[in-house]
Structure 1
Amino acid sequence: MQKLSLASVVFWVTAGLVLAQSDANKGQIIGTVYDQKQAVVPQARVKVRNLETGFTRELRTNEVGQYRAVLLDPGTYEVVAEAAGFAPTTVSGLVLNVGTTVSADIRLQLASTTIVVEVGETLVNVTPAASRVVDRRALQDLPINGRRFQDLALVTPTVMVDPQRGQISIAGQRGINSNVMVDGTDYNQPFFGGIRGGERSNLIFTVPQSAIQEFQAVATGYAAEYGRSTGGVLNAITRSGSNELHGEAFYQLRHKELGLKTPFNRQSLETQHQFGGAIGGPIRRDKLFFFGALERQKARTPRLVFFPQLRRITPNPNTAEAYNHFLSLETPFTQTNDGVALTARTDQQFAGGSRLTFRYNFSDGNALNSTTTGSRIEPTIDRALSNNGTEKDRTHTGSTQFTWLLSPSVVNDLRFATSYEIRPRLTNSATPQVSCVIGRYGGVDYLPTTQDDMRVQINDGLSLIRGTHTLKVGADYNRLGTFQTFGFNQFGAFALSGTDVNLHLDILSRGGNIANRFDDRSVTYRRQMGNLLASFRVHQAAIYAQDSWRVSSALTVDYGLRWEGQWNPTPEANNTSLVSKVKGFRFPIGSFDPTLIPDNPVQLMPRLGFAWTPSSSRRTVVRGHTGIFYASTPMLLFAGPMNNYRLPPGDVSIQLPRPGSTVYRDLLAVGVDLNQYSLDKLPILDLATVQRAAAGAGAAPDPFTGANLLAMASDYRNPRAFQAGLGTDTELFRNLVAGVQLHYVNTVHLEWNRDYNLPEPIIRPSDKSLRPFFGLRSGRTRPIPTLGSLWVRESSSRSMYRGLTLSTQYRSRRLQFGAFYTASQNYSYDDNERDASGVRYENSFNLAPEYGYSDLDMRHQFTGYAVASVFWGIELSATFRATTGRPIDPRTGSDSNEDLGGPDRAYKAPGVPYQRNSFRNRGYRNVDFRFLKSFPVSERARLQFSCEMFNMFNFDNVVYSGTNLNYGVGIDPGTGSPVPPPATFMRLRLPDGSYDPVNVQLGNPFQAQFGLRLIF
């Protein structure tokens, strides 16, 4: 055998992907076989072999010397090429990652001995769209706070966390419009959107980290085989067994004493234990393998109920009762966060090159006092312990994949998956909720609730290699089902509008300037009248065809077409009296049909891309892509429209007061005197009493008087994006690649809620600020006066993202790093992540000021990672992230236009509101670091000690929050003159130099974590 270096033969090897994805959870190896004179060798025999499992695929080159092995499991491969009259040549050490295509061109020699070319992993991407792979070494050795694999996506460009639900946002798109896949099957939560586990996945792992082999983040431009996303793909694969028994066991401790206090001088850090392990190996060598992983976590975090607004005022006799009540609610409590996750997998390899995989995944989470803290990190919360609850979540996921080699040039890939999730959420208190500028107390208005959903998916794709073309055709079907018991205001809810602390305390107290409790027009009361039930199904189907055409050894063109259809449920609208009031009614801004949820049967998505290597060395690649992409709609958006017009309704609330009245007076008229109840024992009013109050004394009660209702727009469509990208990568020297990438995503048909039951606004003659006024608190009536808000889910919003990414990556045996800088602009009308109700605009009759910087607009983003093996078994690794601040919307802090709706905006001139999100919050910086030392235990085993430091440099990362975001009215309505914002607007520190406690810290203060891991 003759062993040659890379420089000794004419050999190129590059790594990339086809349209950002190649065979989903698998990959491809392609190349051309040449003779010693650089002529192509047709009908050469090529054998591709996985060095870890022994999997083998045999094929021949075509008439122009090209070969392509599709649907290969990620791993390390060798390729052997043979032809009559030539020595066999072996290319060994090819690293194939998930969703990528490795190119290995081979030159045969006239010799009598076998030639072996040793190669390593390369970073040049020679395909149409850019993507980033986080491999097993990064997952195993980088510091990761919480062992949630998706968190490491933040070290890749254009990826961020959406500020509303904490889900992964890619290329400026809503988190609910991204697509997460595990082993080539859908891993999205069909009801809430985002990754399986919903918001709980931000706090617990739903797949053991030790079970993840690697994942790929694709910002834009993925293949026609994949859809249901306008915002990129996160494509993960689980580990399999191999011919060698391998495994690990670990324990990690993050103790609250191993860290610092917050910038507000409070202890906020959790004590968390995480432990578990994984094992995999052969059942029958080269044939049958197994793998399993189990991980658990137990966490306890100190929290404190604290109302910072009380520190801004001095109580007086008019406010003392409510002031003292809120003080009595300030108490420490403990938040828990426990979870377990399990993965089991088997792989069967068949003679001839076929493979069968079974996988099962289970997760369970339980968190006490976590409903209103959620993913909040700050140690204090302005919600009483009564206004909290228990979060539970359990998932079951199973998948089967059969990759069937029909011939060397025809391969079929069949995937079947089912997933089930149940999410019970319990309340700490079955009492009415009270919310105001100071905070909240009483039961959470939407608890208790239980929701479950199930997805059944079947996907089949057939790959055919014909000459220089690789064709793939296939189909995908998903059946989604859900059942829930959910409703707002189950025990009643009092809400006070505005930001005047003294006024709110006066309203809540008996006596004083406002003599009666809740006797003010700024107060609303809502009471649930439904049975909370909703159950329905959604069907999704897709057919696609795509071709990867190797025009020449330097140019590849990919093109494809995808069709998707979505069939939505039909509302159960048997409340004929209510339907007749609404259906066909001409509201000032339009009409809608509450008996209809439109289907989306025709969603066509053409896609095109190219990759060109201008020189024979293939050290530089130029790539581009464009296409149409559709996302799906989370089923939560259908829940209210499905049951609101039913008898009995599901989730429908009645609202007080009547026009021109107050909550106190409406209830007093039906015999309920709120002055007779203390603040801690407010009454749970029976439904009939509230219905009589809404109808008015002496009137025949209509049970739906004052009801707030939801419906879908008659022309509702799924989100659709036009994407385009252009970029280049260059290998500056061996193992170091630098590149630039442009992204453009223009998305239409985005969902937002609009209240149709509003009168046209007026300009009051006395209002010199010229603010449009609806006057619903002052006596003006709605178009249908007996009903409250009629929220219609429209698909008329849009967004536009433009980004430029500069990147550099280096990968060798001892050092691996990547650094990415993204400059971007993101505009939108609205960024809600499937809001259940309510609106976010100021004026439904003038939406132009809403188009501004998106909540997801992050102008500058710098991320990266590094892993280095130094000496004496020591390994150092780090991740870093720095971003500019998110936008701030300058709000008045009260319902200035009296539409009982979304936040009102400050004015910069009479009649001229500020554009949405026209101010900017503070930025964010973080460095996480890991020190790891290995101690050999045996020839095949080693024990590792690790020390991780999260927020290593203890960056404060304090951002403006709460009432410090309120600008005020901007223009004085009495004079028309500018009114400066209050001193608290964007106030960072108090006069004594300490941070204003109304603000919050993003992330954690410094905290250390220690761990032990046995690897064999």
Structure 2
Amino acid sequence: MKQRNRTTAFRPNRRLLSCALASCLAMAAPQVMAQSTSATLRGAVTADSTITVTNVDTGLTRTAKATNGSYNIGGLPPGTYRIDVNAGGQTSSRAVTLAVGQTATLNLQDAPPVSAPAADATNLDTVRVTAPMLVETRTSEVATYVSNKQIELLPQNSRNFLAFADTVPGMRFVTSGNGNESQLRSGAQGASQINVFIDGVGQKNYVTPGGITGQDDSRGNPFPQLAIGEYKVITSNYKAEYDQISSAAVTAVTRSGTNDFSGSFIWDRYSDNWREPTPGEEAAGRKSEETTEQYGVAFGGPIIRDRLHFFVTYEAKDFIVPEMVTRPNNTGHVNIPANILAQYGPTSRPFDQDVYFGKLSWQASDEHLVEFSARVREEVGILDVGGVNAQSAATALNNDEKRYDLRSLYSAETWMNDAHLTFEESSYNPSPLVNAPIIRYTARNQANDGDITLLNTGGGGSFQDKGQKGWGLQNDFTWYGWQDHTVKAGVKYKDVELTAFQQFPPNPRYIYDVAVNPGQPYRIEYTTARVGRTPFVESGNKQFGLYIQDDWQVNEKLTLNMGIRWDYEDMGAYKDYVLDPAIATALRGWTNIQNTDYDIENYISDGGNRKSDKDNFAPRLGFSYDLAGDQRHVIFGGIGRSYDRNLFDYMAREFYGGAFTTYTINFPDVNHPCNPSPTCIPFNPALLTPEGLAAFAAANPTAGGEVNLLSNDLETPYSDQFSIGMRNTFTVWGHDWNTSATVAHIRAKEGIYFRLGNRYPGGSFRDPAFPNATWGRQPWGQAIPGYGSLILGQNGIESKLNSLLLSVDKPYTEQSPWGVTLAYTYSDAKENRVNASNGETYVFDYPDAGDTFYLSNGVPKHRLVATGIYGLPWDVTLSAKLILESPTPRSATNCFDAPSNDNCFFDPYERSETIGFKQFDIALQKVWDTGTDLKFKVRADLINAFNWRNWTDFDDWRGAPGVANPNFGQRTGNGILWPTRTFKLSFGFDW
């Protein structure tokens, strides 16, 4: 089925804003992307000066003349620059290093010469070595930089460059289980709400969760680490140039070739022999097989000196990933058959990734830089092994991605234009490793009111094919010609085709009760495709964005940033969807919902009653005030709105719900009685065959299964952000230390969720026979006549975050070869659907999400990350990283404080321990300089050096009404977060 795209949002009067925005953008008519990676250098200078900046590595040159005693030079790739100031026939020079996306202030009117003005290569090398890093203090953003030194030297075991973002207050790099999936999160929002900009190009995942493409269910890296120069993390109040984001923005710059040929090679490895066993492995008496090898090579240099440069890199991962198939907790009362017990214990699965990146940089003239970059990511692996999934129940994953970017950056004396033409293609394709029926073994729990899954075997349980493919065009225009103002305006257009398919389960599922009859199933679940419906959804998706912003330096102390952004998205699969007339008729005739808490007409789409939202206006206002005008003590703050987007995976559920009919056949036994009906029959061995299941479906036709419907007026998720803080630079022991303290409030709204639309006769959500019930007794048996249950999708997920962000930084430099960072975050986080921050989108325990807020299950209250880098004699470098967290709140249902089991309620809790997570990593690197251009290095990383165990299994049951559970909050199993203490050895060389 083919259709197109859509987005949603907010509600001010649009006419005046539209006219103002359109007129301001008239000057920026060209196309393509944000200059969020380019640096800007500005400041005071002698009135008649000419300022020339030269990149010491590539020869890139920019020249500007003073205007009323000030200068402003933009479009500078991060790096080290020699600055030549010519005034009255005299030239003075100095050197600085500029960071990614930085707006640096450097006053030059009294600048003494610090190096000779000659432009020979020897002098350039001297400048590069001694150039200080300018610190950006006059920004309203809550932003922190991650340097190349930190990426290169801090201990790590993943080679995922995003892992270093957790050194920033408010950020967490979250790894699930034993590293099966790594995601970057900020505050009380999930990973899907971030965006990562690489060389200014957003890497947003439009289809599946994870925030950026390729990170859903993947151990892989989104980008080769050898290609990343440095990056900036903005946790709130980003400027208007950033889009499709309501949480944190990461803007990274890739490495480019220089005038010198250079290269690197890196290889590291560890295995199960180099790590401590997990508690589960200790109990089993053996370890899971494990091998981790990561290697890569990078090479760059000049094709034409000062004009044309190249850079290429390749990185790979070859893993044997350890897993543990475990007997579930609370099953001591079950006599589990030997053939099932034999499948518990250590096991492993493979994972392989290859990532390629290449970049050409052409300095066509002193004003014009043209770049072309390409990235290809290929990975294959096995999922869904471990826990209660045996090796045969595995899912095979193919996860591929391609991205290309053609960039044109043109700088004139008073303006600059930055344009990108992009293409992207990504696919996420998990499918059963073994195409066979799924076998599930269960047992009755001790309360005899439900089943516990003991083991899944047979075939895999997931079949999906999801992806995005298309091109984009963006343009950013910056004008410096208005005194004391830097005005930036941009336009963006993308045309991306989104695809999605899923089938659960992909093969019949046979469910056995091991206590009753381990040789005969008591239930069969399977799906058949509905005639006339295709489960494959294909949707054209058109995105359009405009913004304008002004950085106004009111005086030498006060700077204001004022901006507004507008985004529009057209998603055909949502907007043009036509509900099957037979289903619409059944819904309109369903008496149960004629007098309930929703109007079914708000969910019935006829292909013409849904509109793409045009109200996504996002104003942003920020300020910074330099108390002494010397950039050492700056108060900053801001307020703004930022819109994200609705994932296509959610928007396509209208198709998934109607594409397959789900059959459930029950064979009654002592633990699973049922009333005789077409779906409750005596056991028939023929139903163990595909032919028997097909015959049953043909003999028992149904009009359809579960029906999923979306609201006809969906809005776009967004966040409102407020912050106030102060940055300081202090000189201690002859070294500059940078500190920052920020108080931030973020309120996220309109997240999409799905609720049960079934109702009892009369319209109630709870069983009318129990009028005092506030929990349970949902109308699951009250399905649409002739169909299955009704699931309604709408906006309503919200989160609230109040946070204190503290940071201390003493940068590592060649002159002062040691560095320290401290990042502390206090978070008061709430959400109105438990586990929403962890990706939960279903609300079935209540009629809707409601306005009750709970402790967020995704955010610890206290978090401290400390890092250190210290240069020792003989080219040895020692580095370390410490992470401490208070316990992350856990989900819990409170029946203990309820009058009955019909009055339970959500009640998340924090465990009483002071420390909920702790990890200390250390690394030691030795470099041998051969006296030529070749340097060898050996490095040892000790991850989780003290083998601290971060337990994951706890008893979250508070107890029955009036009867407390004495084990509430206590540890129940051997599960831990990886890694255990692990030794990793790396070799490499640079030339």
Structure 1 and Structure 2 fold alike (TM over 0.5): yes
- What is the TM-score of this pair, normalised by structure 1? 0.83
Q: 1:648-703 CA distances to partner (integer Å, 9 max, x unpaired)?
A: x435535567999998757984796437489xx6878635624755xxxxxxx433
Query: Bigger shift: 458-467 or 154-163?
Result: 154-163
1:347 offset after TM fit, Å?
Answer: 0.1
State the partner residue of 2:151.
139
Equivalent residue, structure 2, for 1:399? 405
- Relative to structure 1, is the Cα distance of residues 314 and 425 closer, same or farther in structure 2, using a 3 angstrom cutoff? closer
**1:127-171 deviation line (CA, Å, top 9, x unaligned):** 111211112111111222111111111221111246886421123
Quote the offset at 1:820 in angstroms: 0.6
The structure 2 residue matched to 1:72, chosen from 71, 76, 79, is 76
Alignment CA distance shift 1:103-1:798 (3 Å): same
**SS of 1:580's equivalent?**
helix
The alignment status of 1:750 with 2:734, answered yes or no, reads no
**CA distance 1:832–1:773, change in 2 (3 Å):** closer
1:955 is the counterpart of 2:944 = no
Identify if the C-alpha distance between structure 1 residues 109 and 281 changes in structure 2 by more than 3 Å, giving closer, same or farther.
closer
Does the Cα contact within 8 Å between 1:309 and 1:438 map onto a contact in 2?
no
Query: How many angstroms apart in 1 are the aligned matches of 2:113 and 2:197?
Result: 47
**Is the contact made by 1:933 and 1:945 (CA closer than 8 Å) also made in structure 2?**
yes
2:86 aligned with 1:82: yes
Give the match for residue 899 of structure 1.
none
Task: Say if 2:189 and 2:837, in contact at 8 Å, map to a contact too.
Answer: no
Give the residue type in structure 1 aligned to 2:375: N
Equivalent residue, structure 1, for 2:171: 159
| Inter-partner Cα distance in structure 1 for 2:94 and 2:167 | 32
- CA distance in 2 between partners of 1:942 and 1:878 (Å): 23
> Which range moved further: 214-223 or 708-717?
708-717
Q: 1:412 to 1:1007 in 2, by over 3 A?
A: same
Q: Any conservation in 1 of the 2:261–2:300 contact (CA below 8 Å)?
A: yes
* C-alpha distance in 1 between matches for 2:117 and 2:296: 44
1:564 equivalent in alignment to 2:564: no
Q: Give the percent of matched residue pairs that are identical in Structure 1 and Structure 2.
A: 18
Shift of 1:124: 5.3
Match of 1:432 among 429, 435, 438: 438
Aligned residues: 905
Cα pair 2:220 2:379 within 8 Å, conserved? yes
> CA 1:359/1:684 → structure 2, altered by over 3 Å: closer, same or farther?
farther
Matched letter for residue 604 of structure 1? F
> What do the CA deviations read for 1:750-777 (whole angstroms, capped 9, x no partner)?
111111123324468789x945453657
**Residue 387 to residue 810, structure 1, CA distance change in 2 (3 Å):** same
SS at match of 1:723: strand
The amino acid that maps onto 2:391 is L
Displacement of 1:883 in angstroms is: 1.1
SS in 2 for 1:107: coil
Structure 2 residue 53 is matched with structure 1 residue 48: yes
Distance in 1 of aligned mates of 2:222 and 2:851: 41
Asked whether 1:307 is paired with 2:327, we answer yes
Q: Equivalences for 1:263-278 in 2 at 5 Å?
A: 263-266=279-282, 267-268=287-288, 270-278=290-298
Match of 1:807 in 2: 807
Equivalent of residue 929 in structure 1, options 922, 926, 935 = 922
Match of 2:447 in 1: none
Distance 2:425 2:625 in 1: 44
Counterpart contact for 1:758–1:774, Cα < 8 Å: no
Q: 2:693 matched to which residue of 1?
A: 686
After TM superposition, give the deviation of residue 385 of structure 1 in Å: 2.2
* Deviation per residue, 1:392-447 (Å, 9 max, x gap): 11111111110012x21111110111111123323134213537523341456753
Counterpart of 2:880 in 1: which secondary structure? strand
**Residue 423 of structure 1 aligns with which residue?**
428
Counterpart of 2:36 in structure 1 is 24
- The residue number in structure 1 matching 2:394 is 388
Residue identity opposite 2:276 in structure 1: L
Contact 1:613 1:621 survives alignment (8 Å): yes
Specify the alignment match of 1:731 in structure 2.
729
Equivalence for 1:459: 474
CA displacement, residues 618-672 of structure 1 (integer Å, 9 cap, x when unaligned): 211111111111001111112222454xxxx435535567999998757984796
Partner of 2:965: 981
Is 1:885 aligned to residue 887 of structure 2?
yes
Tell me the CA shift for residue 57 of structure 1.
0.6
CA contact (8 A) 2:887 2:910 kept: no
Compute the displacement of 1:865 (Å): 1.8
CA contact (8 A) 2:373 2:406 kept: yes
1:718 aligned to which of 695, 698, 716: 716
Which stretch of structure 1 is more off in the superposition, 189-198 or 878-887? 189-198
The answer to whether the aligner puts 1:610 opposite 2:615 as a matched pair is: no
Match of 2:219 in 1: 203
SS of equivalent residue, structure 2 residue 106: strand
In 1: Cα distance, 2:526 partner to 2:217 partner:
31
- In the alignment, the residues of structure 1 paired with residue 141 and residue 526 of structure 2 have an alpha-carbon distance, to the nearest angstrom, of 51
**Superposition pairs of residues 21-420 of structure 1, within 5 angstroms:** 23-33=35-45, 41-63=46-68, 65-84=69-88, 87-92=90-95, 94-108=96-110, 120-123=132-135, 125-161=137-173, 166-199=182-215, 202-266=218-282, 267-268=287-288, 270-309=290-329, 312-315=332-335, 323-324=337-338, 326-330=340-344, 332-367=346-381, 370-373=382-385, 381-405=387-411, 407-420=412-425
Amino acid at match of 1:798: E
- Label 1:801 to 1:688 Cα distance change in 2 as closer, same or farther (>3 A): farther
Query: Which residue identity does 1:128 align to in structure 2?
Result: S
Q: Given that residues 861 and 881 in structure 1 are in contact (C-alpha distance below 8 angstroms), is that contact kept between their aligned partners in structure 2? A: yes
Q: Give the 3 Å change call, closer, same or farther, for CA 438–121 of structure 1 in structure 2.
A: same
- 2:987 is equivalent to residue 1004 of structure 1: no
In structure 1, C-alpha distance between the alignment counterparts of 2:247 and 2:114, rounded to whole Å: 54
Is it true that 1:533 corresponds to 2:536 in the alignment?
A: yes
Q: Any idea what SS the aligned residue of 1:842 has? A: coil
Q: Which residue of 1 aligns with 2:635?
A: 622
Q: Is the 8 A contact 2:507 2:526 kept in 1?
A: no
Contact 2:288 2:346 in 1 (8 A): no
Residue 122 (structure 1) shift: 4.0
- 1:16 counterpart residue number: none
Normalising by structure 2, we get a TM-score of 0.85
Pick closer, same or farther for the CA change 1:433–1:659 going to 2, 3 Å.
Answer: closer
Bigger relative contact order, structure 1 or 2, given CA contacts below 8 A and separation 6+?
Answer: 2
User: Unpaired runs of 5+ in structure 1?
Assistant: 1-20, 34-40, 374-379, 497-503, 511-515, 694-700, 893-904, 972-977, 989-995
Counterpart CA distance in 2 for 1:837 and 1:803 is 23
Give the AA of the match of 1:90: S
**Counterpart position of 1:38:** none
8 Å CA contact 2:395, 2:460 repeated in 1:
no
SS at 2:272's partner residue? coil
1:258-279 CA distance string (max 9 Å, x none)? 1111133442572111122101
d(CA) in 1 for partners of 2:834, 2:372? 38
Unaligned runs of 5+ in 2: 1-32, 119-126, 443-450
Alpha-carbon offset, residue 253 of structure 1? 1.1
Code of the aligned partner of 1:589? D
Give me the whole-angstrom Cα distance separating, in 2, the residues matched to 1:237 and 1:584: 58
2:603 counterpart residue number: 593
Distance 1:411 1:184 in 2: 15
Report the counterpart of residue 501 of structure 2 in structure 1.
485
Q: In the alignment, which residue of structure 2 is the partner of 1:740? A: 741
Cα gap change, 1:566 to 1:835, in 2 (>3 Å): farther
Would you say the 8 A contact 2:938–2:987 is kept in 1?
yes
